[in-house]
A and B are shown apart, each in its own frame.
Chain A
Amino acid sequence: MIPELGHFALALAVAFAAAQFIIPLWGAQSRDVRLMAAAPALAYGQLIALMAAYGSLVWSSVIDDFSVLNVAENSHSLKPMIYKISGTWGNHEGSILLWCLILAICGGAVGLFGRNLPSSLRARVIGVLGGTSVGFELFALLTSNPFLRLWPVPLDGRDMNPLLQDPGLAIHPPILYAGYVGFAIPFAFAVAALLEGRIDASWGRWVRPWTLASWSLLTTGIMLGSFWSYYILGWGGYWFWDPVENASLLPWLTGTALLHSAIVVEKREALKTWTVLLAIGTFSLSLSGTFLVRSGILNSVHSFANDPTRGIFILGLLALVIGGSLLLFAIRAPVLSASGLFSPVSREGALVLNNILLCSIAAVVLTGTVYPLFADLLFSAKISVGPPYFNATVLPLTVPLFLAMAVGPVLSWKRAALGPALMRLWWAALGAAAVGIVAELGYRAGSAALAFAAAAWLILGSFAEIIQRIRLFQVPLTNSLSRLAGQPLSVWGGAIAHAGMGMTIAGIAGMSLAQTTIVAVRPGQTIALAGYEWTLLGLHDEKGPNFNARVADIRVTRDGQEIGLFHPSRNAFTTQTMTVTNTAIQSSQIADLYAVLGEEHDGTAVLRLHYNFLAPWIWLGALVMAFGGFLSLIDRRLRIGAPARRTMAVPAE
């Protein structure tokens, strides 16, 4: 009964979404205030229907209703409760439903927080979101229905892929999807602006918070995914340039560009056409990423059950959403009047450079990801593009990007002088050079030393804008401190996000210096690695809820001092006859000790031990970046509607 209710609620959501698409857009076109005012209510209706649908899927999974095909294929009665819940989005059908739910939440959020938007803009934004929802919900309903029944009812389910039974991966998809789908809001704002034929500073101010929120979530989502591959796959790597990883990186890159170009729209009313294109492009890349993964076109370790028929449906959907918006862009963009001139050396100029570099990186990553496909299609050549290509093309582009990241914020708007700006960064340059030289002398690793210098440059340079704003050492210290307290949160947010990038770079550089060894040892034997002594105490069996574990006990000491007991294990999942390695990681602030248990042979066990220098900084830096985004988001000046209250007259209703 419950699954049928969910099925019905999904169909109802399609109806609501269709109404949400047609009524407000028509209302905005015909200037009918009542029709426009219906937009939020329709968005709420769609949201409630989808919450009911998703709730029934979760319910079916929680009560082990194996008559539901989706539950039978992906769940098992012995599976821990958290994975019964997270299992609903760990498969194709459920994850598409989650997509729809998040899209509906976006519509609801614009309805709720957008009360102070001009009514026609709000109606159009919600309408565009509704149109996108119709497509995805139809996709769920027609080709990926999670509520299909199974007869006869199996005694138990097939269980979820053990690799996915992990707390980190339980929360990874919702956060990542929230980031992907969140870019639907800037997209909807862009399309609405094209329909309205008008973009001004307030448009930039409205778009920015939504972009920031999605960007922060996407940053966190990518970080969780990378962390998962670091500790669950047990390969010691954290980024593999896998197509699915690239698919998440692409919208992140263009989204970062969008975040910055929207500032220019807001402050200077320039770069309007470009910003609209970026907003459309970012969401298009989010959608295409999903398409490439789900259709089975891309060869990836993450693949879902693929099906070309589903691929055709999504491709049609993409053609409508992306093609339609780009067509609208081609027709309407000339209407957007350009204003706000600026000289190449200025804050705007630096942000344009940022956009050019970020989009170039996105372009080379995109090329590397899809080139093998098109080479196969056009020249029947089987090639694979691997990390060497990405490292060779992306890294050179990051050098000017990192250089400019510290310089940009100290430039003034409109027209700036480069010399004085650089002078203000002398101490950051000095610090970076010192770090680089120490790293080179200490590790003799040229590129890593360069990366360390870049990281120091970024971390120190990020705070140059604040130091400049509080006129440190130019006015009395108390005066500076009171200025410090008065700095808007968005300035802090920007500085912290840039510093977070620096931390991630330091982590990546540190990881390239990681020390690792693979050894076969007997219990009692000790291995020395990176100044630590690793002793295998013994091996024993343990029983988990749905797996049997073989656990190694390793004591790690340093100069006789115990650092910790490690318990890496190999978990054999009973229902899926699959073994998953469970890495043991102990993290200090500056390094990870990382142990993986391999096969056993005649009393010896294979151990892989790592000393990953600065590894935690990779993910910590990403979290700091997301935190910076969050700080900017809660800045009063950006709070949605706050500026509108002053500048806009609410139309009579």
Chain B
Amino acid sequence: MTAINRRLVLLLPLGIAGVAGVGLYSMLDRMRSGKFDPRGVPSALIGKPVPTFTLPGQGDSPGFSSADLKAQGRPVLLNFFASWCVPCIAEADVLLALKQSGQPVFGIAYKDKTEATDAFLRQHGNPYVQVGRDAAGSVAIDFGLYGVPESYLIDTTGTVRWRFAGGLTADVVRQELAPLLKTLT
């Protein structure tokens, strides 16, 4: 092996590490801007009408149906959650902030007991206009739910405009949801 070749071989590990590093950096960068989601599978619902459903509410309070989502006069956020899901707890503050900013949020309690949902909402705050109970998880199937928490933005015509699988963070709201809401209103 000539000296030059040997040099090149010795540079190889650095080159591989460098390429991997650039790749990982662009993944992280796109994750931050929401263009890359290693967890998410793209939702087939984007641009389609929201699936039709009617759900019962918590205890005595009324539930809601897909028609109610269109009737708000502004885009609504539909949030699947469950009391047994840890990221849902982490997400609670972000949803409360959205509620305070005037954004209507509808909640679907996915495969959860009424008492457990009640306790969850008491402990971590209730950001929802209405809570529907999807005890059997059948509505979740229509949505192609990836897991909880998961959020959908539905515009006034009842079309799904955006989907986010996983806990919402302030960054996601600022970088994705807020700009989208601006274009819709």
A: which residues have CB within 8 A of B? 158, 161, 273, 277, 280-281, 284, 291, 295-299, 305, 308-309, 311-312, 315, 318-319, 322-323, 326-327, 329-330, 333-334, 370, 372-374, 376-377, 382, 576-578
Contact = CB atoms under 8 A, between A and B. Distances in A.
Contacts of B119: 577
Interface of B: 3, 6-7, 10-11, 13-14, 17-18, 20-21, 23-32, 36, 38-39, 41-42, 83-84, 86, 89-90, 116, 119-120
B89 A315 contact: no
A330 B14 contact: yes
Given A576-B84, A577-B116, 9 more contacts: A291-B24, A296-B31, A299-B38, A312-B25, A312-B29, A315-B24, A326-B13, A376-B38, A577-B84
29 contacts: A158-B89, A291-B24, A297-B24, A297-B28, A297-B31, A298-B38, A299-B39, A308-B28, A309-B32, A311-B28, A312-B25, A319-B21, A323-B21, A326-B14, A326-B17, A330-B13, A334-B10, A370-B20, A373-B38, A374-B23, A376-B36, A377-B23, A377-B27, A377-B30, A377-B36, A382-B41, A577-B116, A577-B119, A577-B120
A319 B26 CA distance: 14
A349 to B, nearest CB: 19
A158 B120 CA distance: 12
Nearest to B18: A323
Contact of A295 (B3, B28, B83): B28
A298 B27 CA distance: 11
A152 to B, nearest CB: 14
Contacts of A374: 23
Contacts of A315: 21, 24-25, 28
B120 A329 contact: no
Given A327-B14, A329-B14, A334-B6, A305 B27 contact: no
A576 B24 CA distance: 34
Contacts of B116: 577
A160 to B, nearest CB: 10
A298 B11 CA distance: 28
Contacts of A329: 10, 13-14
B24 A284 contact: no
B10 A297 contact: no
Nearest to B26: A377
Nearest to B89: A158
Contact of B31 (A277, A281, A308, A327): A308
A298 B31 CA distance: 12
Contacts of A577: 83-84, 116, 119-120
Contacts of A296: 31, 38-39
Contacts of B86: 161, 576
A281 B42 CA distance: 35
Contact of A305 (B6, B7, B10, B90): B90
Contacts of B25: 312, 315
A330 B29 CA distance: 29
Contacts of B26: 377
Q: Is the interface of A mostly helix, strand, loop or mixed?
A: helix
Given A296-B38, A376-B38, A330 B27 contact: no
A309 B3 CA distance: 42
A419 to B, nearest CB: 32
A573 B83 CA distance: 13
A374 B116 CA distance: 40
* CB-CB nearest 3 A-B residue pairs: A326-B14, A330-B11, A308-B31
A334 B38 contact: no
Contact of A284 (B17, B36, B120): B17
Contact of B10 (A273, A284, A372, A576): A273
A392 B14 CA distance: 29
A296 B36 CA distance: 12
Nearest to B167: A305
B160 to A, nearest CB: 19
A156 B41 CA distance: 37
A372 B36 CA distance: 13
Contacts of B27: 297, 373, 377
Contacts of B90: 305
A291 B21 CA distance: 11
Contacts of B28: 295, 297, 308, 311-312, 315
Nearest to A322: B17
B96 to A, nearest CB: 16
Among B30, B31, B83, B120, the most chain A Cβ lie within 10 Å of the Cβ of B31
A333 B9 CA distance: 11
Given A298-B38, A330-B10, A318 B3 contact: no
A520 to B, nearest CB: 21
Contacts of A312: 25, 28-29, 32
Given A309-B32, A577-B83, A297 B38 contact: yes
Nearest to B124: A158
Contact of A578 (B20, B23, B84): B84
Given A298-B38, A315-B24, A334 B14 contact: no
A327 B21 CA distance: 14
Nearest to A318: B21
